[in-house]
Amino acid sequence: MKCVIVGAGPTGLGAACRLSELGIPWCLFEANGYPGGLSASFEADGFTWDLGGHVLFSHYEQFDSMLSATSGAQDWIQHQRKAFIRILDRWVPYPFQNHIRCLPDRERDECLAGLAEAREPANPPATFQEWIDTFAGSGIARLFLNPYNRKVWACDPGRLSASWLAERVAVPDTSSAEKAAHWGPNRVFRFPASGGTGEIWRRLAARLEQDSIHYAERLVGVDMLKRTIQLSSGRTEKYDYLISSIPLVRLVALSAPSEHVERAASLVHNSVLIVGLGLTGEIPAAAADKCWAYFPEPDCPFYRVTVFSNYSPSNAPAGHYSLMAEVSGAPGHLTDPNAIAQDCIRALSRSGLIGPDNSVVKLWIRELAYAYPLPTLERDAILAEVMPGLENYNIFSRGRFGSWKYEVGNMDHSFMQGVEVADRIVSGKDEGVVGPRHDRSAQGTAKPGRSP
């Protein structure tokens, strides 16, 4: 049995780690010259940058064990979540719906009245918009949930399913304010003391068999019948099982023969521009006490800002601090990054996160063409068609964009998707993170868990 892995992000590295433990031969190909995927980090002029506001927490013992094996207690900084929403010229603690007492009287009363009118529906909401309208009430919907979600998704909430919401959005509850600080999976988190989030994946990759990892090798084709992949170097590699974490739409488009190209192309995603700002001077009071903040209002281009130097002193040189702003858009719409960055600087100054005595000395911009896989109403039906078509040829698409499931797209989820699909290939064990298996009976095709 030979497994070929495409992508050296959390999923691909998780699969390689587990296959190594099981004694199964594997080789891994990564388009970039470094591991980590969307969880990589970069250093420039003394500043460290992540590809967005990553927060590390775990649902899984195996993920925790990997972290313990690759690092010690001295390699981490522990944090209590200090997240806020910038709204109505004030900072409201997160989650918004549990802190409406912090609003001006009129808006507070509007939110309370909306909550009082909210009723348990006869049927579960089908769309995210229906969920907002049902549980949040008109005040919270108008002030925060509608504008923020339109901004972060770059999509109307009415196009999104309500099925993904369990750990991502707190249900508004007038009695839960005193419990607000304890809600959410990321209320306590840790961050690497140096190297950014990408240090986790650099360390894991370094523990694997180096001769089996091939960087700067981009997938350009998959022959599903011959079970071979073609790479940008001209290399062809044969596989018994293929594990891919590249975006599902791209995998399907590169695979032949494939009857699902048009169907997969209906999957929706957004893009995000990361604007990193390195600043001189003393950190302003507005930034000193925050991990990150959400910005629902239309007077700024970004939906979230991370005070990245607060995560670790090593993220910025002495006498400096750093901010990372995230601006979302439909694919192809973030066309003028430098102009967007200047808009971000002006909005950050208005909010107080950049003070009058601070100066920008480093501007770091990176566009993520694939940032959020959108849980649209059609998504699950599309996956139910496309995934079996791949799995019947022993091709397994996993990870944040491989499975196209935002709700299980954090680093721990993605790592475990790789671990679990390796177990499924080797022993037929069911996967837990992505849910029930997608395979279906097909004449003459190899089934997962068996050598072809």
* 386-428 residue pLDDT tens: 999 999 999 999 999 999 999 999 999 999 999 999 999 999 9
Stated as kind and residue range, the H or E segment containing 76 is strand 76-80
Whether the pLDDT of residue 449 is over 80: the answer is no
Say which residue the tokens 């296959």 belong to: 19
- Report the pLDDT value the prediction gives residue 270, as an integer from 0 to 100: 99
- CA 170, 176, 177, 178 dihedral sign is negative
Give the separation between CA 406 and CA 210, rounded to whole angstroms.
Answer: 31
List phi, psi (to 5°) of 39. -105, 15
Across the range 256-278, mean pLDDT stands at 97
Question: Quick check: 243 and 418 in contact, CB under 8 A?
Answer: yes
- Identify the pLDDT of residue 179: 46
Q: What is the pLDDT of residue 421?
A: 99
Q: With bands split at pLDDT 50, 70 and 90, how would you rate the model's confidence at 173?
A: low
Q: How high does pLDDT run on average in the chain?
A: 92
- In this predicted structure, which of 15-19, 258-262, 266-270, 321-325 has the lowest mean pLDDT? 258-262
Q: What is the pLDDT of residue 426?
A: 98
**Would you give the distance in Å from CA 62 to the centre of its chain?**
20
pLDDT tens for 94-104 read 999 899 999 99
In degrees rounded to 5, what are phi and psi of residue 17? -60, -45
Give CA–CA dist 11/246, Å, rounded.
10
Q: Residues 402, 372: contact at Cβ < 8 Å?
A: no
Contacts of 310 (CB under 8 A, 6+ apart): 287, 288, 290, 291, 321
Strand spans (E) along 183-342: 188-192, 213-214, 219-223, 228-231, 236-238, 241-244, 255-256, 269-280, 292-294, 304-306, 320-329
| 437 has pLDDT over 90 | no
pLDDT higher than 70, residue 174: no
* Residue located via tokens 């969920």: 131
pLDDT for position 439: 43
